[in-house]
Amino acid sequence: MSIQIVVPEMGESIVEATVAAWLKQEGDHVAAGEAVVELETEKVNLEVVAERAGVLARIERKAGEDVKIGDVLGVIDESAQDGSSAPARPEATPASAAAPPSSGAMPAEGIAKTLSEKELRPAPEKTGRAISDRAGHGQETGPNVMRMGSKPATPLAKRVAEEQGIDLAQVPAKGPGGRVTKEDVESYLQGQQPGQEDALPAPAPEIVTAAPAPPIERPGREERVRMSRRRQTIARRLLEATQTTAMLTTFNEVNMSAVMDIRRRRKDSFKEQHGVSLGFMSFFVKATVGALKAFPRLNAEIQGDEIVLKRYYDIGIAVGATEGLVVPVLRDADRLAFAEIERAIKAFVQKSETNSFSLEELRGGTFTITNGGVFGSLLSTPILNPPQVGILGLHKIEDRPIARNGEVVIAPMMYVALSYDHRIVDGREAVLFLVRVKELIEDPESLLLEG
């Protein structure tokens, strides 16, 4: 009995995938529940398992092909017990093998029969005499002479005259025996007599147009790589974000001295107690939630002609993975403690390295935080992650001179950027939102008051 391997349901809004790799080959034995093929979606990679044991009899869709839910990927032969009993695909028979081998040379009489009567007819004998000219004068003039009217002409002169439409009777003959030569025709064309070549005007310079140079081949210096489905999705969504939103960005800078002081004093005890390091992201998650509570339109989305205000705070954390950016979501971030946030972010990073996210971890989100500072970015403009209307961009911390109490001091400063959808978020709200984030980070104790 044959069992089809089909593309399963892959989660909300995912209807297509790409065959990433076959984990089994035709003829391989497959156990029930064993992964057979890996599918690449716009969010995660999924493994399709065999429902029953058998032998992979046939692969219908090869690696790199796009498939949809319900498409048949392959067939498992349940009756086969090992790879040796798997039905083999018929091999194409070469044409040379189908034809019987030649038993020897074809007889001479057989060859003669294959030739037509016309092919066997002897060719007419060639003569050394020239045929009379087109004017109908059939006088034989010798092998190199043709006549027009009563004036003999060489074949080359006749051909030039015909090409130029000249009556040879009008051309003075200066050749031997009164024959018109090619030179006579050319002289007649230029209105000169033979012997006056020195008076001819200098020919116009020939204009030579250089042909376009062929493209330079550079073997090994270019490479074409097929875009992964995730990269295609990232490209499509980023383009949609710039085309379907009224995106603006506002900037500010944050003094990180207070946060860095807390981390310096508490990092050892925090790690000993919770088993995870105290980072900067947990502070910014808490500060973002506090600012979203103060300015709820940054935690909303547009649906038709309505604004959907969300009273929950699912914060997306952008993570740069090898296959492309992913944004796993911290559910109900307002209810999480610092340690819970740090553990969740650490798990996100680990899963990005192994590409082991679940669809639930990547679905939804009401606001996003992206940290380009881990890669050394000083300042950037983050792009919205629709349907969200706000995204906070963090950057690297750098010592810079600032004014404090009338004095110039050196402080660890960070530029922050907020991109927002101006359709529902006004500039005033966006600026005040970013100022609120700045205030909460520069006074971390106030984060306790935000709950």
Any idea which residues carry the catalytic annotation? 422, 426
- Distance, in Å, from the CA atom of 72 to the CA atom of 58, rounded to the nearest integer, reads 11
Q: Which amino acid is located at 2 in the chain?
A: S
- Distance, in Å, from the CA atom of 81 to the CA atom of 424, rounded to the nearest integer, reads 63
Give the number of C-alpha atoms closer than 13 A to the C-alpha of residue 153, restricted to the C-beta side: 28
Helix axes 281-294, 338-354, angle to 10 degrees: 110
CB 367 within 8 A of CB 298: yes
- Distance, in Å, from the CA atom of 370 to the CA atom of 314, rounded to the nearest integer, reads 14
3-state secondary structure of 344: helix
Q: What angle do CA 287, 290, 296 make, to 5 degrees?
A: 130
Two structure tokens written together for 364? 């939804």
Q: DSSP assignment, residue 217?
A: P
Q: DSSP assignment, residue 43?
A: S
Q: How far, in whole angstroms, is CA 303 from its chain's centroid? A: 32
Two structure tokens written together for 220? 């090994």
- Distance, in Å, from the CA atom of 401 to the CA atom of 410, rounded to the nearest integer, reads 4
Helices (H), 82-181: 95-98, 108-114, 117-120, 155-164
CB 369 within 8 A of CB 315: yes
- Distance, in Å, from the CA atom of 225 to the CA atom of 252, rounded to the nearest integer, reads 39
Radius of gyration of the chain (CA): 43
Q: How far, in whole angstroms, is CA 17 from its chain's centroid? A: 17
Q: Give burial (CB, 10 Å; 0-12/13-18/19+) of 196.
A: exposed
